[in-house]
Amino acid sequence: MRSGLVPEKTAGENGAIVSTVLDISVVVPVRDEVESLPLLLEAIASTISASQLSYEIICVDDGSTDGSAEFLKQQAQTRSDLKAVILRRNYGQTAAMSAGFNHALGKAIVTLDADLQNDPADIPILLAKLEEGYDLVSGWRHKRQDAALSRLLPSKIANWLIGNITGVKLHDYGCSLKAYRAEVLADMNLYGELHRFLPALAYIEGARITEIPVRHHPRRFGRSKYGLSRTFRVMMDLLTISFMKKFLTRPMHVFGLLGLFSMVTGTIIGIYLTFVKLVLGEMIGNRPLLILAVLLLVTGVQLFSFGLLAELLMRTYHESQGRPIYRVREVVAKSVN
């Protein structure tokens, strides 16, 4: 592996110098953490420099108002290992992480929070686990230093719920300290609050995932930017992930099945009511069952139509981007001399 802070250089077209990939990119979303940043940057640099790996630190300022952006811009002008990405306004942690991923040059990408609660000294442990053949290594704050009622209890419930719905069971989805192979992130687009579901998204792409305990420290400066207010958004994204996991390439299997069931049920009720009207001579106009039959038939047609539209959208999604519906881990073939 290469050492140093700057990537190796190779000659490109017309003799131009271009950068090759680095060993590691450390992506740090930042919002109002100016007091933590000096300590964080030095901790990351000293930890990775000791590993003799080429690296970069990408700090993405997500609309800070406390001087974090100005500090990062000043540091980026003097440090060769730092890249400051300043967003125009506060877009949220998902957007900040996505911006960091898009600017990363590393073969491995590590994410962590800027508040010093994640310990940069754990980065080599995650990278070592990644070298064992995993595509994503997630940190587990097994001794989490947060308030029990407002943070720990909701987190435990959320982790249990996410694990059971997505099928990717981790102790700590909310831990930002994670290590990824760059090619895994290249296949994923992030929206909403999807950054916390990256293991589930990676699983959809066929990634091998594991989890290891990491350290967690009490917050030293400021206060947390997160609370229970984002629970609804997280729940909606969880439903999205669940659907993507099961039906991303076959939406007709869910919409079509529900639509068919609804139409068949409505038809059976309609046949029964027709028998009652024509054979038994009874009035059916005031029966709730008639309304139910019509509702089921209309709903069935709508669901079936949704399935067809979803199929068209799915095909457009894959074909317009040239995205295959599969992912190849490796190709092994006998070499021919």
> Residue 279 pLDDT more than 90?
no
> Residue 142 pLDDT more than 80?
yes
pTM over 0.85: no
Domain range annotation of the chain: 20-247, 252-320
Strand runs labelled E in the chain: 9-11, 17-19, 22-30, 55-61, 82-86, 106-111, 136-140, 178-181, 209-213
User: What average pLDDT does the segment 102-122 reach?
Assistant: 93
User: What average pLDDT does the segment 231-247 reach?
Assistant: 72
Query: Which residue is listed with tokens 């947390």?
Result: 224
Backbone angles phi, psi at 328, to 5 degrees: -95, 125
Band (pLDDT 50/70/90 cuts) for residue 319 is: low
Q: Which of 101, 90, 5, 95 is nearest to 58 (CA)?
A: 101
User: What average pLDDT does the segment 137-157 reach?
Assistant: 77
User: What average pLDDT does the segment 142-158 reach?
Assistant: 72
- The predicted structure's pLDDT at residue 203: 86
Q: What's the mean per-residue pLDDT of the chain?
A: 82
User: What average pLDDT does the segment 286-311 reach?
Assistant: 90
pLDDT per position as a tens digit, 263-277: 999 999 999 999 888
Band (pLDDT 50/70/90 cuts) for residue 1 is: very low
Task: Please provide the CATH number assigned to the domain covering 20-247.
Answer: 3.90.550.10
pLDDT per position as a tens digit, 324-333: 655 565 565 5
Band (pLDDT 50/70/90 cuts) for residue 313 is: confident
34 touches 68 (CB < 8 A): yes
